[in-house]
Amino acid sequence: MKKVSLTLLCFVVLMALGCSNDAQINLNVSTADKNEQSAKSVSSSKDNTGKLQIESNGKEGGTFRRLWSDPPTLDPHLTKDTTSAGIVVEIFSGLVGLNTDLELVNDLAESWDIDSTGTIYTFKIRKNAKFHNGKKVTAEDVKWSLERSASKETASPVAETYLGDIVGLKDYMEGKADNIKGLKVIDQLTIQITIDAPKPYFLAKLSYPTSYVLDRDVVTAGGRNWWLENPVGTGPFKLTEYKIGERIVLTRNDNYHLGPIDIYKVEMYLGGGQSMAMYENDEIDITGVGLFDLDRVLDPQEPLNKDLVVAPPGFSISYIGFNTTMPPFDDKKFRQALNYAIDKKMIAKDVLSDLVVPAYRILPPGFPGRSENIDGLGYDQDLAKKLLQESKYSDSSSRPRITITVPGTGGTLGLDLEVILEMWKQTLDVEVEIQQVEWATFLEELDREALQVYAGLGWEADYPDPQDFLDILFHSKSAQNHGQHSNSELDNILEQARVEQDINKRIELYRKAEQIIVEEAYWVPLWFTGEQYALIKPKVQGYVLTPMTVPKLSKLKISE
Amino acid sequence: MWNYIIRRLLWVPFLLLVVSFITFMLFRLGPGDPILVILGNKYDPKSQSVQNLREELGLDKPLMVQFANYSINFFQGDFGESFRYRGQSVRKLISAKMWVSAQLSLAALLISTTIGIPLGFFIAHKQGGWQDPAIVTICLVVMSIPVMVFVPVLLWVLCLKNLWIPFWSGIPCSGWGGLFDQRIIVPALSMGLPGVAIFVRLMRASTLDVMKQDYIMTAHSKGLGQFVIDTRHVFRNAIIPIVTILSFSLAGLIGGAIITETIMGIPGIGRLAVQSVFDRDYPVIMAITLITAGFFAIANLLADITYALVDPRIRYG
Amino acid sequence: MIQGIKTEPEMDSFQRKGHIHIAFDRLIRKKIAIACLVILAIIYFSGIAVDWISPYGYTDQDYTQIRQSPNFSHWVGTDRAGRDVLTRVLWGVQNTLILTFVGMLTGGLVLGVTMGLVSGYFGGYVDGIIQRSGEVVSSIPTFFLILIISATIRPRVIEFVRWVEDNSFLEGLIRGGIVDYFVISLSLVSFGWIGTARLVRGQILYLKETQFIDAARSIGVSTSNILFRHLLPNAISPLIVTVTMGMGSMIGAEIFLSWIGLGIQPPRPSLGVMLWESSNISVIRTEPWLMFAPGSVAFLMVLAWNLLGDALNDVFNPRTY
């Protein structure tokens, strides 16, 4: 959902889990033990050598360590980036959520019911759902949370995106109403939400933190920083320590409504640093493998190779976008020619060491709703040259200047872009100037739709529905359509698909839409994240690498 | 003298106001909108939620009003709240990180001085020998290594289980544990070693100057031993100019650790400063700029005062 | 004729030539200084001439030669895109050369010296204003200032240059990097001028106490003449030393700027960018040449300037004991 530049892909630590090095001696004289753990391993520590410790039940399960960054916020209603979301989904929860297979599942809601018009959702809340402070979760809490999320005081930038389909929400946000009409509390454990049209992706949107349930007293009492002082949620973990810039510690919630959890503690180090080195030094338990370490780690002789885990590709795509109102990109053949001239396979393999998968279409592999039979624009030099000749801009001397703009905060242009530019020059004699601007300026120009060609961006799914990709990026009225792409046939199809109830028909509509988009060559789709490699310490079990941010830490087990 | 001090002190708020105005204007008039940065490329900036956000952050008011509000709050000690870290008070954010940077700078300064001052003193006595040029050259060599090369090399040597140094299992590579934690070694070294050169030269020059003085010759002729002369007279007098620049060094180091902090993942003020400029996190930018400016002004004043105290020939009108 | 008894203007020029001449002689005798000059000359010359002496362009990508360690056809190896590292390093040197010289000349010398002269000579109000504004600018953390200027001014400058390119026959300005040079030099300049100004001012204040200024005035020498032909030459020696020593930090500043991403834009190579890509442990282990090539060249340049400055310092202020 934010920029996913190649350089970032290579350098950012994706995930790390850790097992504490300074473990303590836990000679468990086990008494009534909810988790029924057998005695943990005995390892020495400076303080507790030899002493018999009768630990309380709550402390077994082990600790994980991973690297993370300072989240901009931990308030679920203000969350909009993965750094915050990764922690928020473990501390808080909403009516529905996504599991590690990215399926929509019940969370706080025990069940839900949709009426025949497809616009009225009735949720029954679990009886055993409690906040971390012991209070039971009621329908009033849900209503209050949703209203708070959309309120003017909260000023959440994403409320409209995720909750905007609820009837009466916009009025409430503008201050014209003092409650949301579409929210109705039926009884203590039942709440009804009415949306403005039968949109099947509404539930998927509801899995996002914007709709998570909060404790009204805690939030009102805590003021603006309530989540720093007292983040009371309903999720599998409690936030027990947060030192800005240093670390975050999550501790198991023993009253979790979805069942008991094995792992005791998760420690996240916020300072950053060289993750590979830390992993090798046993300071953290999981690390992503960057471009430069890949060869070493893939070598079967290397002891680290045993820890290697392959992660499924993420649901994100990086691309080059064309502004179709600015010449020479108003000519479809020219755009197509540029597409055909790139040898993506070679770049993915040789330059980027297979960390990416070439993309010839928009939806990533494995994405729900993706149809198989879409023809993309592959590598064909002759066809590229031919199309160039047929286009209006075959003559390089009369062609308008082409500038590609990329955001550059790290100081380097993605290698892939440099190679692509070179290919365009060699095959088609098309010269492109690069302009690198820093992120804030880039965003501003992007928003003004002033960029002729833009790259260095990625688009990551927020919820697993094709609408999040195809509609939001290519509908002519969408704000994220930075290239001013406008095609009325496409618009019609997309609008139909928004409210189509029949799943198969809907998939077919999106297939047609994607085919049009690919043919029109509004973009050069570049890469889907390829197989990501990660190293996980063998004692950590149950860690699932997922293409989107979903709660997953509750499934962890540490075995010694 | 007091007149002078008071006048200089009065100048500081005015300086801060001017600095804040310049910084404020440069950013507001330049490209980049913090709201857009907050949204990333994913959300519709024209939606109602964003409009609410804009009002909440005070960005919808006219520029001069914003500046006036900011200044009034600033002089009362309220630095506002960060844009990127929504809701967190800038003051808390910065003070935590400044404390870290201060510790790091202190450690680095300790290294620079404990190595540099004695070395400078030593080679001042060895004029004409090989030690003087050799040591100065070594210092310059260390000073010339680009930081962004020095740090990874140091990490490579010290942090990993290294085959070249037996029995060395490496110290942790990243993160921060405070002044007395071993993880401070690498960053403090990378910042402190280049600084040795400065202190060596200063101490050398200062010592040489002192040794030339008549009163040293008098001491010699009185029959005092070399060691006594050194400790009681030469060293004490030679060190005075060093002290005056210490405050500068400290102030300067605080900002200068950006590269080290980024590579090593230390939660200091340098990284925050860079990040906040790219994020257009105005409250943080303003606060850092003003605080640093204030530090420098005070350090400047302190240095000038110390100078005057020490050298009675200098008078301020 | 006995040396030394000359008329005023001649004595002046004798002093000037003699004093620098003497210094130069001493310098030549210092072997270190020679070594430094030679190293700098080699590096800079290769940087300037790289277009002619290198068989590779800086964007030439040879996909069969990716990540090669140093060998016969690529003396320092290749990077991830098959580009010759040595060529890129030398182009980076060229960039650094242009930027630091321009920065030092305009900021350090032209701006700094003039400000210092004016400030010192006229004193009073003028002095006050210049000093105060210098303080203001210098109290904004240097890095911030550079960052701010680059982030805010560059896009505007680019727009302007683009307009110029479109409306005139001038071509390829942006591609040639002019915008970058201008913006970065501007940033480096703001970093450089105050130190020199203060130094020159100090010298002037000192010299004002002496009599030869009064003497010159009394025979009617004009103000600018006084400034430039009389005062300046005497302030030159500490100036030379400071400037030389300052070149080291200037180079450092330029590398830092491109390291953060505000320097010369790709695909023009720059040392800072090459270092950014390669300065982590993983790279050092597998492809050390990617870091050591730009790193050692940067190191040598800075070292040479620093040593040279130190030698010059000794030469102008000899301490004979």
Question: What is the tens place of the pLDDT at every residue in A486-502?
Answer: 888 888 888 888 888 88
pLDDT at C6 over 50: no
Pairing mode, strands A265-269 and A63-67: parallel
Mean pLDDT along residues C25-53: 80
pLDDT digits (tens, 9 = 90+) for B24-48: 887 777 777 788 888 777 777 777 7
Cross-chain residue pair C282–A433, CB shorter than 8 Å:
no
Burial category of B164 from C-beta neighbours within 10 Å (exposed 0-12, middle 13-18, buried 19 and up): exposed
pLDDT category of residue A193 using cuts at 50, 70 and 90:
very high
For residue A508, what are its two tokens? 């077919």
For residues A43 and A18, the answer to whether their CB atoms sit within 8 Å is no
Cross-chain residue pair A438–C261, CB shorter than 8 Å:
yes
> What DSSP element (H or E) covers A360?
none
Cross-chain residue pair A278–B161, CB shorter than 8 Å:
no
For residues A266 and A66, the answer to whether their CB atoms sit within 8 Å is yes
Lowest average pLDDT, out of B307-316, C22-31, C84-93, C156-165, goes to B307-316
Q: What are the residue ranges of helices labelled H in chain C?
A: 8-29, 31-53, 85-103, 112-122, 124-139, 142-167, 178-209, 211-218, 223-225, 232-260, 271-278, 281-286, 289-316
Angle at which helices B282-310 and C124-139 pack, to 10 degrees? 130
Coil vs helix vs strand at A88: helix
Per-residue model confidence (pLDDT) at position C10: 41
**What is the DSSP secondary structure assignment for residue A123, as one 8-state letter?**
E
User: Which residues on chain C are in Cβ contact (under 8 Å) with B260?
Assistant: none
For residues C283 and A292, the answer to whether their CB atoms sit within 8 Å is yes
Lowest average pLDDT, out of B75-84, C40-49, C207-216, goes to C207-216
Q: Tell me the C-alpha distance between A336 and A522, whole Å.
A: 9
Q: How far is C235 from chain B (nearest CA, A)?
A: 21
Q: Tell me the C-alpha distance between A182 and A165, whole Å.
A: 9
Per-residue model confidence (pLDDT) at position A213: 92
pLDDT digits (tens, 9 = 90+) for A257-293: 888 888 889 999 887 667 777 788 788 888 888 777 7
- Residue A399 bridge partners (DSSP): none
pLDDT digits (tens, 9 = 90+) for A412-426: 557 788 888 888 888
Higher pLDDT, C14 or B13: B13
pLDDT at A94 over 50: yes
Return mean pLDDT, chain A.
79
Q: Tell me the C-alpha distance between A456 and A6, whole Å.
A: 7
Q: Tell me the C-alpha distance between A295 and A345, whole Å.
A: 19
Task: State the first-to-last Cα distance of chain A, in angstroms, to the nearest integer.
Answer: 37
CA dihedral B162, B165, B169, B170 (to 10 degrees): -70
Cα–Cα nearest to B199, from B124, B311, B307, B103:
B124
CB neighbourhood size of C215 (10 A): 12
> What DSSP element (H or E) covers B55?
helix B48-56
Coil vs helix vs strand at A296: helix
Residue C78 zone, left/alpha/beta (φ > 0; ψ -120 to 50; rest): beta
Return mean pLDDT, chain C.
73
pLDDT digits (tens, 9 = 90+) for C256-289: 878 777 777 766 788 888 888 887 777 777 778 8
For residues C301 and C309, the answer to whether their CB atoms sit within 8 Å is no
CA angle C291, C293, C297 (to 5 degrees): 120
Q: Which residues contact A282 (CB under 8 A, 6 or more apart)?
A: A21
* CA B26 vs CA B17, B19, C147, C148, C180: distances in Å: 14, 11, 11, 7, 19
pLDDT category of residue C176 using cuts at 50, 70 and 90:
low
Q: Considering just the CA atoms, what is the radius of gyration of chain B in Å?
A: 25
Mean pLDDT along residues B281-307: 80
Q: Which residues contact A449 (CB under 8 A, 6 or more apart)?
A: A323, A482, A483, A484
For residues A245 and B104, the answer to whether their CB atoms sit within 8 Å is no
Give the side-chain half-sphere CA count within 13 A for C121: 20
pLDDT at A212 over 90: yes
Backbone angles phi, psi at C51, to 5 degrees: -60, -35
pLDDT category of residue B310 using cuts at 50, 70 and 90:
low
Mean pLDDT along residues C146-173: 69
Lowest average pLDDT, out of B100-114, B248-262, C8-22, goes to C8-22
Q: Tell me the C-alpha distance between B58 and A334, whole Å.
A: 45
Q: Considering CB atoms only, which of C136, C248, C310 is closest to B19?
A: C136
3-state SS of A442-502?
HHHHHHCCCCCEEEEEEEECCCCCHHHCHHHHHCCCCCCCCCCCCCHHHHHHHHHHHHCCC
User: Residue-wise over C245-265: b if at least 16 C-beta within 10 A, else e?
Assistant: bbbbbbbbbbbbbbbbbbbbb
CA angle B84, B86, B89 (to 5 degrees): 100
Give the side-chain half-sphere CA count within 13 A for B99: 12
Chain C residues touching chain B at CB-CB below 8 Å: 32, 135-136, 138-144, 147-149, 151-153, 155-156, 248, 252, 255-256, 259-260, 275-276, 279-281, 284-285, 291, 295, 298-299, 302-303, 306-307, 310, 319, 321
Residues A133, A134, A136, A137, CA torsion sign: positive
CA angle C149, C154, C155 (to 5 degrees): 130
Cross-chain residue pair B41–A2, CB shorter than 8 Å:
yes
pTM of the model: 0.76
Per-residue model confidence (pLDDT) at position C232: 65
Mean pLDDT along residues B213-225: 78
> What DSSP element (H or E) covers A244?
none
Q: Of chain A residues 443-502, which have a CB less than 8 A from chain B?
A: 443-447, 457, 459, 462, 478-480, 482
* CA A344 vs CA A341, A354, A357, A377, C98: distances in Å: 9, 11, 9, 11, 37
Domain spans of chain B, in order of start? 91-310
1.10.3720.10, 3.40.1360.10, 3.40.50.2300, 3.30.930.10: CATH of B91-310: 1.10.3720.10
For residues A180 and A172, the answer to whether their CB atoms sit within 8 Å is yes
Q: Which residues contact A56 (CB under 8 A, 6 or more apart)?
A: none
pLDDT at A36 over 80: no
Q: How far is B26 from chain C (nearest CA, A)?
A: 7
Q: Tell me the C-alpha distance between B260 and B100, whole Å.
A: 13
- Residue B99 bridge partners (DSSP): none
Higher pLDDT, C80 or A258: A258
Mean pLDDT along residues A136-162: 88
User: Which residues on chain B are in Cβ contact (under 8 Å) with A161?
Assistant: 43-44, 47, 49
Cross-chain residue pair B26–C155, CB shorter than 8 Å:
no
* Unique residue bearing structure tokens 């008329």: C7
Per-residue model confidence (pLDDT) at position C192: 62
Q: How far is B227 from chain A (nearest CA, A)?
A: 46
Mutate which of A13, A276, A351, A417 to test chain C, going by most C C-beta atoms within 10 A?
A: A351
pLDDT category of residue A89 using cuts at 50, 70 and 90:
very high
For residues A66 and A267, the answer to whether their CB atoms sit within 8 Å is yes
CA–chain centroid gap for A275, Å, is: 21
pLDDT digits (tens, 9 = 90+) for B54-82: 888 888 888 888 888 888 888 888 888 88
Per-residue model confidence (pLDDT) at position A197: 87
pLDDT at A19 over 50: no
pLDDT at C100 over 90: no
pLDDT digits (tens, 9 = 90+) for A38-67: 222 222 233 333 333 333 345 778 889 998
Backbone angles phi, psi at A270, to 5 degrees: -100, -5
ipTM: 0.78
Per-residue model confidence (pLDDT) at position A145: 92
Cross-chain residue pair B34–A440, CB shorter than 8 Å:
yes
> What DSSP element (H or E) covers A307?
none
